[in-house]
Structures are given as structure tokens and as C-alpha cells.
Amino acid sequence: MLESRILENIKAIVGSENVATERQDLLCYGYDATQMEFLPDAVVHPGSVDEIAQVLKLANAEKIRVFPRGAGSGFTGGALPKGGGIVLVVTRLNRILRIDTENLIAEVEPGVVTEQFQMAVEKQGLFYPPDPASLKFSTLGGNVSENAGGPRCVKYGVTRDFVMGLEVVLPTGEVIRTGGETYKGVVGYDLTRLLCGSEGTLGVITKIILKLLPLPEAKKTMLTIFDSIDGAARAVSTIIGNKIIPTTLEFMDYATLQCVEKRFNLGIPENGRAVLIIEVDGDRELIEKQAARIQELVKPLGLVECKVAKDAAESEALWKVRRLVSPSLRDVNPDKFNEDIVVPRSKVPDVIRSIDKIQQRYDIPIVNFGHAGDGNIHVNVMIDKTVPGMEEKAHRAIGEVFQAALDLNGTMSGEHGVGLAKQPYIHLELKGAQLAAMQAVKKALDPNNILNPGKMFPL
Amino acid sequence: MDPMKRVEKDLKKCVKCGACRAHCPAFAAFQREPAVARGKVALSQHLLAKDIELDDQTYLAMSKCLLCGSCVEKCPNEVPTDEIVVAAREALAEQRGLTTFHKAVGRIIKNRRMMSMGAAMAALLGPLFFRKVPATSGLRLRFPLPFIGGKRHIPQLAKKPFLSRHPEIIQGEPGKPRIVYFVGCMTNFVYTEVGEAALALFRHLGCTVIIPKDQQCCGLPGMSGGDMETVRELAGRNLAILEKHEADYVVTACATCGGALHKFYPTVVGKRNPELLQRLQALAEKTVDAAVLLQKLGLHPEETGAGDAMKITYHDPCHLRTRAITRQPRELLKAATGVQLVEMEGADKCCGLGGTFNVYHYDRSMQINAGKSEAIRQTGADAVVTGCPGCMMQLTDGLKQSGAPTRVLHTLEVLARKIGN
């Protein structure tokens, strides 16, 4: 519980209509997509950087925990108010401040919804590639904090690769700017890259300067079906080995295909064991050439079928297979743990084989799909929480999946972050002095440990 | 039985991914999580677990839903938030009693035959057609509504209701379909020209048209306030009346009535009663939107439609869109002589009416509608055409207030221009 004196102070800063303490309001800001739930003491909707700075100053002085929040669509609990405190919702800061067509940059506030921003720049013939699955509702502030990825990252890189500068309120209430508007810049530490993916533990992002690209003229989508997982995996390395970098290389394993087929009857051939959705974008003539070359390259790799979209509507139809994955998974089991390991792309078949062994050993269905082009596999451990012991078993299986990725020089998470969900496993990847260096950064910037405490790693 | 138990399984499906934030019109207006589908589902889960009260705050959150189904359509886990909100409103009504407004609605739609509802409807016009001062507190929603006029545009009541104008059975040609026309209150009392157009078109095709004199309100105005007793009662009566005529089709030209017969009767009313459910499902299967049936029966709109050149744009009513009826009305309209159809931006977005939502949250309702009016104006169309008299009322209100000269017409009115009236 917050003292009423403190609540009154916060109301004086942001306006009483922007502070909520009713139980119903608190409940609605205590969840995200992890299915975990914690009750905050207050929900605060600041309207400016100045208000955020004042709230943080107050919170730091009074040692009150503050949990920054965007759309609350994260998969690891990064925005969850564990232990209680203030949920600081930044979605009122939702303006696109400028789109600079001469310098190919844009400046936005953190509450702008990713897709809204993409549509705005595309109207001017520009392009912001990062495309997390949640782009229709996630915010750019959240994307930066979690360093969001997406299918197009194979070719274009992740959110971090597009962030040039930030305005940030530090946990102690000072406002700083990092990076800037220039592509080059080597003065001082690169705090911009440090803050990207820092999961709201080092500062509250209040402005973002983003790099833009010219909008590609066209794109072409192909759906390829292979008779083995190895075929699909070899297709990925063969395409890239032949100096073509597709925009996306989305992969679905046999278990995924079975789920989708059972539910939606899309007519996937019986001997199909893996699917790759391949998209290329760019100059119209070039992508026609690339698409033809890709078809040639994958043919000898156990290709069962290759569908090529002729227009946008057909492309949409091919992507439907991928979009139907999520709704179909629940037919396997009602609950899932959605992990997102990464391995070097050539190691995808190895990690899939390891996961298959883990699934057999634990007797828990695991469904894999995701971004094969950059080795980022979504590992979905499907369980029924009402079955006694199943959840514990799943946690052990997940630990082994992470270890398998690490053994292949990979990482536990490519997109979702650590938050609360992956914290029990963090010791597998972060060790000794490496972990201590990170903890030292956190302690230096947030001496009272008030900003999103308890996330990422224990302090 | 706790109404929340009815949706227990549905409540488990929501994983709080937040996808509804992109589609919920109430969230777009309020920008706060308790107003979004995910928030209302979360609160419903706590209602089921009985760890929050059916108090003013819960009431306020649940009032922020237009029952438009936009979230249901886009939900990756197919969570029926509309049915969940209806259950929560029922639980609220059971615990706290109906609001004065909904008591009046229930009394009128349940206790009178639609034929003789006219005077009572006029009395109802107070709360329905006049603006209620938007309440910020849930408690205020329970007190009598101040029957004051706002800036709202009030539609005229028809001099003679549609149902008193025509015999019950109008014989068509032998071998042609027998249809029962489920008229709906808005068409009967306000937009009678929609009824006339429907009648003219089906007679043009040689159909035998049955317009049961004893048909009742579909009950959706009651459902919107959680008055499920009234909805069950009306659904039962309409079922008996519509079954009796043994028609090939039950036709609606009101998206909302169609939504009731086609979707909400089976999913909400029939859920606890297998025998009733079977009959309601049979009725649902027979129920068809007028535009869909006209196309199926081979209407040639170039023979019946507008003669004069007319530029129109089409608005998708939520209760047609969520039943996947978007293509058919457009195809018919495009084929009508002289009609040029231009698409507006966001044709599929809710108009903001949402039954009770417009009564209790008028300003937010018009805030949602403002985008719609602007999109319509941008097309430069002479008329906006739609398939729901509820949307027609809301679109008219918004356009009149914004000073736009754009007319508001029903799809059937455009299609019947040469033969109607």
C-alpha cells in the first residue's frame, strides 16, 4: 500500500484522473501475455517526460518500485509489478514527432503502436522493418525495451539496429539523451545499445530516434514444403550460401503442420514434414530473378511442393498457414510455454533433433516453428496445467532445451527477453564476472533498485 | 446458476496477449485497460473466482463494451468476449437489479406486442433518443435518466408502423420460396422505408412473404443491459412464432436482429438447454440477411436499382461483418444501375452505437463515430449505405452534427429504387 501522502503527490504531478487505485484498475495492469499476475498499488498514466521525471524522483526518494509499461503484450513478464508498487503506463506519450525524409530518420514517443508507425512512414515511401508478431498492438517503447525481432530480421536486423538515439529518464529522475541523429558517433559509451533490450531496468524511454530505409518496390512470397526437416534446414543454408538473403525464412515443423492441418484442413501433402515460407523484397526485376533462383536451389532438397504467390492476395493466403499456428496449438494441450531459443542457422536441424529427444524423454508435446533464417526457433512446450506434475516436468524440459541451444553456441532468448519467466534459467547463460558486470551497471544507474526491480537477474 | 459459470470454459481461453487492443473500439475511445476486451475478460475471470465484487467499478468496466464482436473476430484464441460481457452484465443485473433505463426497456419489449408498442416506444424515446449525461461513476448509471435533449439528432417516428400497413401473408408465385420477414423494432417504428424496400424486392422475385403480426422485439436491447430474463422470454416467443410458419427462410434486414437470431439466440440463450438449443440452431440456420438471400435468389439490381447517377460508400455493420457478410451487399450495390461505389477508409470499423454504450457513454460513442463521419466525408459520396437501421441512426446523428449533407440509406433502399414505393 502506498501512503496517501505519496499518492497525493503523484496526483499533483500527473493529475488525479491519471492515477488509478481501484481494485479493478489494478487487476487490469497486473498481467501480460505470460499468464502471470501481480497486483500493483497504483496505476499512473503520465502525459509528458517532465511528469515521468518527477514521478521517478519521488519514487527514488521514497524507495517505491516503478514498473514501466507499454501495451503489456510481453511474453516474459517484463512489465509485471511483482512485489507491488507503481505501474507507469507510457501510452499517453503516443505522438510521431517527425518523419525526416532527407535524413531518413523519425522521432517518436514510446507509446506509438508499431504498425501505426510503419503505416505512417510507408505513406512517405519509407520503411521501418522490425516486425514482431504483436506489431498491431505493441508499442515502440516496448519494442526497444525488449529489443523486439520478427520474421524480417533475417535481412534487416532487429529493433536495436534501427535505434539511433533515445531520450531516457534515469531511475533517479534525471533526463538524458543518448546517441543522436547521426549514423556515426563515437563519443562516450554506446548507451543507446545498452538501453535497447534492457527490459525497463535502466531507465524509462521517453523519445526514440529511429533509422528508416527506402520502402522496397515489391515483394514475392513462396511456400515450400519439404519431405524432411533436414531438407528445410538445408534449404535455408543453401539459399543464404548462394548469396541471397531473403526478407523472411519462416519455418514450421511436422508437429506444427499436423496441428494446423487437423484444425483447418489446408491440404498440406501427406509426405510434407516441414514448411518454409520464403519472402524476398526489393526491385521488381531483381526479386523475380531471386525467386526463380531460390526455386532451383531448393528443388533437390526433398521439395514436395512449392507455391508461388502471384499477387498480394495470394501472398496473404500463403501467410495464412503461419498465422493459423497459434490458434491450432491449443488443440494439443490447453497451456503453453512459448520459448524462443536461437542457434547459428546451420545448427537448426541439430537443435530440432535435441528437442525431439527431450520431448520423448519427458513425454510432453513440443511444437517448433519460427524464424529459421536467423536460427530463432519458437519452442512451444504444450501442457495441461490441471494435470498434476506436468508443469514441473515442463520446467525441467525447458531447462534442457535452453542447455541444448547453449551447447550449440546459441542463446536462450532471441526476442522475448528474460523478465521473470526465464530468470530461473539465467545462470545457464550468464556467469561469474559477466553477470557481475551487468549487475554493476544496474546498481550504478539505479542505486535504490526502484526501477523494474527483480527483472532479468537477481540483485 | 451463476451466469459466469456459463462462460467458464471461454474465460480460460484468454491468454492476455493484448491483440484486442488493436481492434476494440471502446479501448480506442477510453485508452485504458479495463475498457479493452482483455481487461473485461480478466475482470470476468475474477468475478468467476469471486474475488472481486459486482460493484460500481465492475459495472463501469462492463458498460464499456459495444458488443460489436470486433475483438472476437481477430482473437487468436477465439475468446467470445461479447458473450462473456453479456454474462457479466447478467450477473450484475441479478445482483444489483436492472437500471431504470433497462427496466423500462424490458417492460416495453417484453410486455407488449410489437404492434401496440408505438406509444410505449415514444415514451422510451426519452432515454433512447435523448442524450443521457455521460456518467463517470457507475453508481450514477443506476439513477433515473435525465430525459434532456442534447445535440443528438432525433429520428422521426413513422406515422404508421410497418406492421400495420400490410397483410400477414402476401402470396407470391407458385414454386418460389416462402419467406418469413422478421422486421425488427427500428424498421417497424422508424425506418419503415427499409421494410417497404424489402417487401418490394422479395415480391419482385415472386416470393411469398409472411410478415407475422405477432412477431416480437429480438431482445438485443435487453441483452445489452444484462436483462437475460427478457431475452430468454422474447427468444422463446419469437422461436414459436417463426417456427409456426414453416418458411424456407427467415429474413432480416436489420444486422442486429439478424445477429440475435443467427448468433446470440443459440450461443447465449440456448447454452444451458439442449432441447431448446437444437430448435434455436434450426432457426439460426434458416435465418438469412436480406442482401445475401437476394443475391442467392438471383436479383438483378440493374433492373431494380437506382436510375440516377449516385456515388455511394458502404459501411459494414458489426453484426453483418462478424457473420462474414461483407462481399454480398457490395456486389449487389455495384451492379445497380447508376451506382458508383467508393470504399471509405475503415469501412469495417464500428460506428460507435453499441446499444447501451451509446446511452451511457454518449460522448465516447460519438468520439468513435467521428472517425467514421470523417471517412465518409473523405469519399465525397452522396450517400452512405449500410445494412443495419441501428447504424443508420448513429451515422445520421454523426453526419448531421458534423454538418455533412451525406444521406444515409439502407442497402435495400438503393436496390429497390426503381420498384419501391
Interval B50-86: pLDDT, tens = 999 999 999 999 999 999 999 999 998 899 999 999 9
As its CATH architecture, domain B301-415 has 3-Layer(aba) Sandwich (3.40)
Q: Is B367 exposed, middle or buried (0-12, 13-18, 19+ CB in 10 A)?
A: middle
Q: How far apart are CA A62 and CA A1, in angstroms?
A: 13
**B39 interfaces chain A, CB cutoff of 8 Å:** yes
Q: Which chain A residues are Cβ-neighbours of B33 within 8 angstroms?
A: 25, 28-29, 72
Cell of B344: 471509405
Which chain A positions have a beta carbon within 8 Å of B77's beta carbon? Answer: 326-327, 330
Q: How confident is the model at residue B128 (pLDDT cuts 50, 70, 90)?
A: very low
Assign 3-state DSSP to chain B and report helix, strand, coil percentages, each to 5. Answer: 55, 10, 35
Chain B partners of A77 at a C-beta cutoff of 8 Å?
none
Nearest CA in chain A to B16: A33
Grid cell listed for A398: 525447458
Sort strands A105-108 and A204-211 into parallel, antiparallel or unpaired. Answer: antiparallel
Residues of A in contact with B78 (CB under 8 A): 327
Q: What digits encode the pLDDT tens for the residues B187-230? A: 998 899 999 999 999 999 999 999 999 999 999 988 988 999 99
Domain A218-327 class in CATH: alpha beta
Phi and psi at B23, nearest 5°, equal -125, -15
What's the ipTM? Answer: 0.94
Identical fold at A218-327 and A332-417? yes
> CB neighbours (10 Å) of residue A286?
14
Long-range contacts of the stretch A384-392 (C-beta < 8 A, 24+): A384/A333, A384/A334, A384/A335, A385/A334, A385/A335, A386/A334, A390/A364
Cell triple for B365: 460513442
Strands (E) located in A358-450: 366-371, 376-383
CATH class of the domain whose range is A4-89: alpha beta
Distance in angstroms (rounded) separating the CA atoms of residues A422 and A406: 14
**Each residue's pLDDT tens digit in chain A (459 positions)?**
899 999 999 999 999 999 999 999 999 999 999 989 999 999 999 999 999 999 999 999 999 999 999 999 999 999 999 999 999 999 999 999 999 999 999 999 999 999 999 999 999 999 999 999 999 999 999 999 999 999 999 999 999 999 999 999 999 999 999 999 999 999 999 999 999 999 999 999 999 999 999 999 999 999 999 999 889 989 999 999 999 999 999 999 998 999 888 888 888 898 999 999 999 999 999 999 999 999 999 999 999 999 999 998 999 889 988 888 877 888 888 888 999 999 998 899 899 999 999 999 999 999 999 999 999 999 999 999 899 999 999 999 999 999 999 999 999 999 999 999 999 999 999 999 999 999 999 999 999 999 999 999 988
* B34 → chain A, closest CA residue: A28
Domain B3-96, second-level architecture = Orthogonal Bundle (1.10)
Spell out which residues of chain B touch residue A115, defining contact as CB-CB under 8 Å: 22
pLDDT above 70: residue B116: no
Please count the CA atoms within 13 angstroms of the CA of B344 that sit on its side-chain side: 27
Give the dihedral sign, CA A425/A426/A429/A432: negative
Distances (CA, A) of A84 to A22, A37, A39, A66, A453: 14, 11, 6, 9, 10
Q: Please check whether residue B15 touches A, CB under 8 A.
A: yes
Tell me, yes or no, if A28 comes closer than 8 A to chain B by beta carbon.
Answer: yes
* Residue A334: per-residue pLDDT: 87
A27 chain-B contacts, CB cut-off 8 A: 42-43, 46, 52
Dump pLDDT digits (tens) for B369-390: 999 999 999 999 999 999 999 9
The answer to whether residue A18 neighbours chain B at the CB level (below 8 Å) is no
Instruction: Check: CB of residue B262 under 8 Å from CB of residue B326.
Output: no
Q: Do A33 and B18 touch (CB under 8 A)?
A: yes
Nearest Cα to Cα of residue A274 among A337, A231, A234, A245: A231
Does the global pTM surpass 0.90? yes
Indicate which of B8, B33, B62 best probes the interface with A, i.e. most A CBs within 10 Å of its own CB: B33
Nearest CA in chain A to B42: A28
Residues in Cβ contact with A389 at an 8 Å cutoff, skipping those fewer than 6 apart: none
**Start-to-end Cα distance in chain B:** 50
Which residue on chain A is closest to B28 by alpha carbon? A137
Q: Is residue B129's pLDDT more than 70?
A: no
pLDDT band at B122 (very low <50, low <70, confident <90, very high): low
Give the residue carrying C-alpha cell 455493420.
Answer: B317
Q: Note whether B346 contacts A: Cβ–Cβ < 8 A.
A: no
Alpha helices in B290-361 (DSSP H): 290-296, 301-304, 318-321, 327-335, 356-360
Q: What is the mean pLDDT of residues B286-301?
A: 95
Any idea where the domains of chain A sit in the sequence? 4-89, 96-214, 218-327, 332-417
Chain B residue numbers with beta carbons less than 8 Å from the beta carbon of A29 are 33
For residue B154, the tally of other CB atoms under 10 A from its CB is 16
Which chain B residue is nearest to residue A26, measuring alpha carbons? B34
CB contact under 8 A, B17 and A31: no
Residue B175: predicted pLDDT: 94
Angle at CA of residue B357, ends B354 and B362, nearest 5°: 115
> Out of A72, A136, A327, whose CB is closest to B78?
A327
- Please tell me the predicted confidence (pLDDT) of residue B420: 53
Per residue, what are the HEC states of B351-416?
Answer: CCCCCHHHHHCHHHHHHHHHHHHHHHHHHCCCEEEECCHHHHHHHHHHHHHCCCCCEEEEHHHHHC
Q: Which residues of A touch B43 (CB under 8 A)?
A: 24, 27-28
Partners of residue A213 on adjacent β-strands: A127
Specify the fold of A96-214: 3.30.465
CA distance A357 to A126: 45
* Cell numbers given for A305: 511442393
Could you give the dihedral angle defined by the CA atoms of residues A251, A256, A261 and A263, in that order, rounded to the nearest 10 degrees? -130
Q: Answer whether A136 touches B (CB < 8 Å).
A: yes
Q: Which of B15, B327, B345 to mutate to test the interface with A (most CBs of A within 10 A)?
A: B15
- DSSP H or E stretch at residue B179: strand B178-182
What letter represents residue A97's amino acid?
A: L
- For residue B392, what pLDDT is reported? 96
Q: Which of A24, A136, A137 sits opposite B57 (nearest CB)?
A: A24
Å between B28 CA and nearest CA of chain A: 11
pLDDT digits (tens, 9 = 90+) for B156-168: 778 888 999 999 9
Residue B401 has pLDDT above 70, yes or no: yes
Chain B residues with CB-CB distance to A20 below 8 A: 32
CB contact under 8 A, B43 and A27: yes
Amino acid at residue number B242: L
State the smallest CA–CA distance between residue B81 and chain A in angstroms. 15
Which residue of B lies nearest to A75 if distances are taken between CA atoms?
A: B17
d(CA B369, CA A207): 31
Instruction: Pick the closest to residue B319 from B187, B208, B185, B220 (CA basis).
Output: B220
Going by the DSSP 8-state scheme, the letter that residue A179 receives in this structure is: E
The C-alpha of B22 sits at a distance from chain A's nearest C-alpha, in angstroms, of: 5
CA-nearest residue to A71 within chain B is B18
- In chain A, which residues have their Cβ closer than 8 Å to the Cβ of B30? none
B296 has a chain A CB within 8 A of its CB: no
Taking CB atoms and an 8 Å cutoff, what residues of chain B touch A72?
A: 16, 18, 33
Q: In chain B, where are the structural domains located?
A: 3-96, 301-415
Question: Across all residues in chain B, what is the average pLDDT?
Answer: 88
| Model confidence at B120: pLDDT above 90 | no
Nearest Cβ partner of A28 from B17, B19, B34?
Answer: B34
Query: What is the C-alpha separation between B27 and B65, in angstroms, rounded?
Result: 9
Task: Looking at the structure, give the CATH architecture of the domain made up of residues A332-417.
Answer: 2-Layer Sandwich (3.30)
Amino acid identity, residue A343?
A: V
**CA atoms of B304 and A54, how far apart (whole Å):** 67
- Rounded (5°) CA angle A52-A53-A56: 85
CB contact under 8 A, B34 and A134: no
A362 to chain B, any CB pair closer than 8 A? The answer is no
User: What separation in angstroms does the CA of B262 have from each of B258, B285, B289?
Assistant: 6, 7, 10
Q: Which residues are CB-contacts of B404 (< 8 A; sequence separation ≥ 6)?
A: B373, B376, B377
CA distance B283 to B267: 13
Contact A190, A177 (CB under 8 A): no
Chain A interface includes B203 (CB < 8 A): no
Q: Which residues of A touch B138 (CB under 8 A)?
A: none
Neighbours of B149 (CB within 10 A): 10
In whole angstroms, what is the distance from residue B168 CA to residue B241 CA?
A: 12
Which among B368, B380, B386, B381 is positioned nearest to B314, based on CA atoms?
B386
B-proximal residues of A, 306-335, CB under 8 Å: 326-327, 330, 334
B19 to A137: CB separation less than 8 angstroms, yes or no: yes
- CB A456, CB A418: distance < 8 Å: yes
Q: Smallest Cβ distance to A33: which of B17, B39, B43? A: B17
Residue of A nearest to B58 (CA): A24
Strand partners of residue B330: none
Residues of B with Cβ-Cβ distance to A28 under 8 angstroms: 32-34, 39, 42-43, 61
Q: What confidence tier does B105 reach under pLDDT thresholds 50, 70, 90?
A: confident
The amino acid sitting at B373 is S
